[in-house]
Amino acid sequence: MSDDEDELCEEYSSIQQQEEEPEPQPKAIGFLQAFCLPGVLPYSLAYACLKLVNYSFFFWLPFYLSNNFGWKEVQADRLSVWYDVGGIVGGTVQGLISDLLGKRAPVLVVSLLLAMGALVGYSHSPNDQIVNGALLATTGFLIGGPSNMISSAISADLGRQEALQNSQQALATVTGIVDGTGSIGAAAGQYLVSLIESKFGWMCVFYFFIVMTGCSVLFIIPLLFREMRSLCRDSQARTHQL
């Protein structure tokens, strides 16, 4: 065999070995490292407050309708569905708007600020099932929508940051942190709602919901400022190009 043939065989062997060698996979990040990623802590705390309100509606709404208005349990259960309907529609519509805008925080902040007004309105809902159902759907749209966005789209966004190099393990870690922090808030809310209602009444429960929704806004505001500055820079860049 000639020298040229030997060199060709060696090159072929080296190429074959390179093809057979698996590509190195990105390492999974640690819990503290994931928690310190930009946006993870604010969104986790915001979701804890928001999931507290959202799950309190899920679990306590039929009891509230029956206890406060004297409606039958079947009627209360059927009416509470409108809150879920509003949350489903809200998550879809607000997710679409945030995709078109390219930013999540502005949509969340506007929705949550409106949600605080909706909670005030619902706390004074009259003894009328049609009006109550309409207010429930509106409240679900403004609270359930942001809650669904944080647990799905925003968690995925946080797990796809450039620093993570598209690591699926990192995406799972970040999603678990956001959802787990929210679950802690939801669990605490079930105890607090029963405590507040037994000592101070349902009106104070709604005040508590308003405060928790306001806390969600406060946690997201730093991210809102950052995204608004980014929008302004993008707008100025497009203007200069024209």
* Domain residue limits, the chain: 34-232
- In this prediction, residue 65 carries a pLDDT of 93
CB 156 within 8 A of CB 174: no
- In this prediction, residue 153 carries a pLDDT of 74
Q: 181-216 pLDDT, tens per residue?
A: 899 999 999 899 999 999 999 999 999 999 999 999
Domain 34-232 has CATH 1.20.1250.20: yes
CB atoms within 10 A of CB 125: 18
d(CA 131, CA 134): 5
Please say if the pLDDT value at position 23 is more than 90: no
d(CA 210, CA 190): 16
Closest CA to 164 of 21, 40, 23, 22: 40
- In this prediction, residue 19 carries a pLDDT of 47
Taking the C-alpha atoms of 232, 113, 104 and 153 in order, what is their torsion angle to the nearest 10 degrees? 180
Please say if the pLDDT value at position 9 is more than 70: no
pTM over 0.75: yes
Q: 94-121 pLDDT, tens per residue?
A: 989 988 888 888 899 999 999 999 999 9
Classify residue 115 by burial, with Cβ atoms within 10 Å: 0-12, 13-18, 19+: buried
